[in-house]
Structure 1
Amino acid sequence: MAAPPEANAQTPARQVSVKDASFATQIDDSRRYEMIGHGLFTYLVWDAYAGAYYQAAGYPRPAPESDVPRRLVLHYFHAIEADDFASTTLEAVREQVGAVDFPSVRRPLTALVDSYRSVEPGDRYSLTWNGDSLILALNGAPLHRSNDNALANAMFAIWLGEDPLNRDFRDALLGR
């Protein structure tokens, strides 16, 4: 006797929606990442992008500045030029790490921002620390890789640190 069709069907991944963006609650990419939180980043009066923050399964408490494998996905609602990403990132990291520590991440940070590409509405950047490497990807295509954990922590701190770009967005991403 054959099993009913629903017994053979795979359960679709659960999704959450933020404005016009959907995010899977779990990502399987050489390891399983589980969503900690998601939110909307508003700049002045514009909804700039939606985001989701994930950590490797088995690390349920948010640990955005650590060696825990983690991923941040940002879905853009407006076009942004690569040069704007680069200048904003350089300034934000300088603010996160301070003038004394900035020289230690300057070289790997410059290599990362040089890999930025302009985005159009619907594009997604992801930033992943897999435990060994920091990977910047645009729409799933890797653009840059670094094994510098200090750079990874500085990059994640832009959105998830003690003094992020937007506290409400940080709190939503961290599930607070």
Structure 2
Amino acid sequence: MKTKSHVCIGVLLAWLFIVVCPAGAQAPDFAKQKNIDGHTLTLCGTGVLRYMVFIKAYKGAFYLEKGKTADQATDHQSARCLVLHYFHAVKAGDFAKATREMIKKNVSSDRFSSLLPKIEKFNDLYRDIKPGDRYTAAYTPESGTRLWLNDKLLGGVKGAAFAAAFFAIWIGENPIDETFRDRMLGRDR
């Protein structure tokens, strides 16, 4: 026999499914390869980042130079690319705050202090996004770390140290989510 609380929970879960998983929030497909500054990058892995277990925040894809392994993902000479397809709207300020906090979590306090000007320069590149938008961040030794929104280049920041700290948000020792990191690096197949 269903109690009133069971019915309320069922209605709430149905409502959350409709709101959290709108029809347009289908998981996107990603290219098998990308070419950035003459570097051929191959899809290493994909994953879905979830918030509070059941809310899909975004689907990501991570690319490395052909022949590179997950252990070489943050090598200073290795080009890499991260593509994030968002299922919900996010404010630019929220990206900046999260970037600052996650880099701080992944580097020493001295390293964070030295990188802070570059972090703030990169944070100025973020824009408000809506569901279906896609950020692409790519690092090459020649160009540094650059950011695109829906294939429009927003700018970038030079330096391998910044790139290592920035990509650590997703693939570092203290990533935003370990399962997501492992899937992006192709370790969880």
TM-score (norm 1): 0.85
Out of 136, 149, 153, the residue aligned to residue 160 of structure 2 is 149
SS in 2 for 1:35: strand
Q: Which runs of 5+ in 2 are unaligned?
A: 1-24
Q: Identity of counterpart residues, as a percentage? A: 36
8 A contact 1:64–1:157 mirrored in 2: no
Report deviation, 1:77.
0.4
Report deviation, 1:62.
4.2
Out of 38, 42, 66, the residue aligned to residue 46 of structure 2 is 38
**In the TM superposition, what are the counterparts of 1:16-165 in structure 2 within 5 Å?**
19-29=26-36, 30-44=38-52, 45-67=54-76, 68-132=78-142, 133-165=144-176
The residue identity in structure 2 corresponding to 1:35 is L
Q: Which protein has the bigger helix share?
A: 2
Report deviation, 1:42.
0.4
The residue identity in structure 2 corresponding to 1:64 is A
User: Structure 2: how far apart are the matches of 1:86 and 1:21?
Assistant: 25
8 A contact 2:87–2:132 mirrored in 1: yes
| Count of aligned pairs | 159
**What whole-Å deviation, never above 9, does each CA across 1:35-67 have from its counterpart, x for those lacking one?**
111110001131000000001123244423222
* Alignment RMSD: 1.5
Is 1:169 matched up with 2:180? yes
SS in 1 for 2:57: strand
**What whole-Å deviation, never above 9, does each CA across 1:101-143 have from its counterpart, x for those lacking one?**
1111000110000110011111111110112211111111111
User: Structure 1: how far apart are the matches of 2:67 and 2:178?
Assistant: 26
User: Structure 1: how far apart are the matches of 2:150 and 2:72?
Assistant: 25
User: Structure 1: how far apart are the matches of 2:60 and 2:119?
Assistant: 22
Q: Which protein has the bigger strand share?
A: 1
User: Structure 2: how far apart are the matches of 1:46 and 1:98?
Assistant: 31
Query: Between Structure 1 and Structure 2, whose CA radius of gyration is higher?
Result: 2
The residue identity in structure 1 corresponding to 2:127 is R
User: Structure 1: how far apart are the matches of 2:81 and 2:127?
Assistant: 19
**What whole-Å deviation, never above 9, does each CA across 1:75-114 have from its counterpart, x for those lacking one?**
0000000011111111111111132211110001100001
SS in 1 for 2:128: coil
Distance of aligned partners of 1:129 and 1:156 in 2 relative to their CA distance in 1, 3 Å threshold: same
Report deviation, 1:148.
1.3
